[in-house]
Structure 1
């Protein structure tokens, strides 16, 4: 009888936000850092991917991602988390900033 191997656990996604997770608007003000294979990670928000130039671009389907696009939109984990932390305070949704949402929650 073959023994069933133990399951492995791995982290493939981080959420970065300036809002507490229980805030009703947290989803809209959250950036994710997601594993994309090997040691490469993407910084994402609403289907857009942060590039090395600091601009957000729509992430093409895997079959349409060319090497130059991948090189400009993939990071090691430490860099991806740092970039996500730098971008999180800058998020604005429908004219509302992170500070606006936090101020509203405090009142």
Structure 2
């Protein structure tokens, strides 16, 4: 052991010549998840999808067509940011784990043209 701190991956890439010295390291942040019971290659997935979107300060929203889900499973219109009250935000913003759970619970029940996402899955599998 040399007593020197370990090199970061960025420092290793600089030392190998893969990155120009002094180039700032890019960061990556997940800001959106797509949640659906339909498989990714299904032609109808996009209409039966709920998004979980990062809204800052560690808070996530469960959204679909400019509506947000609250913890009771009710959808509400999401107004422009300057018109959102604190109590509305408290009811429609969650930690990441909770937002993903709520989206997963709601996903089978999304309705399009009178059919739920669960109906669409059953139809694809040949069930009546």
TM-score, normalized by the shorter chain, greater than 0.5: yes
- Structure with max Cα Rg: 2
Aligned partners of 2:52 and 2:61 also within 8 Å: yes
Does 2:50 match 1:31? yes
Q: Is 1:98 aligned with 2:117?
A: yes
Higher mean C-alpha deviation, range 2-11 or range 36-45: 2-11
Mapped to 2, the partners of 1:5 and 1:100 lie a distance apart of 49
1:62 counterpart = 2:71: no
Q: Which runs of 4+ in 1 moved over 6 A?
A: none
Greater strand content: 1
* Correspondences of 1:12-91 after superposition (within 5 Å): 12-91=31-110
Once residues 103 and 55 of structure 1 are traced to their aligned partners in structure 2, the CA distance between those partners, rounded to angstroms, is 25
CA, structure 1 residues 99+60, in 2 after alignment: closer, same or farther (shift >3 Å)?
same
- Computed over aligned residues only, the root mean square deviation of the Cα atoms, in angstroms, reads 1.4
Checking the alignment, whether the CA contact within 8 Å between 2:69 and 2:76 is kept in structure 1 is yes
Normalising by structure 1, we get a TM-score of: 0.91
Q: Distance in 2 between matches of 1:97 and 1:53?
A: 19
Structure with bigger RCO (C-alpha 8 Å, 6+ apart): 1
Tell me the CA shift for residue 96 of structure 1. 1.4
What corresponds to 1:6 in structure 2? 25
Give me the TM-score of the superposition, normalised by structure 2: 0.77
- Structure 1 residue runs without a partner (length 5+): none
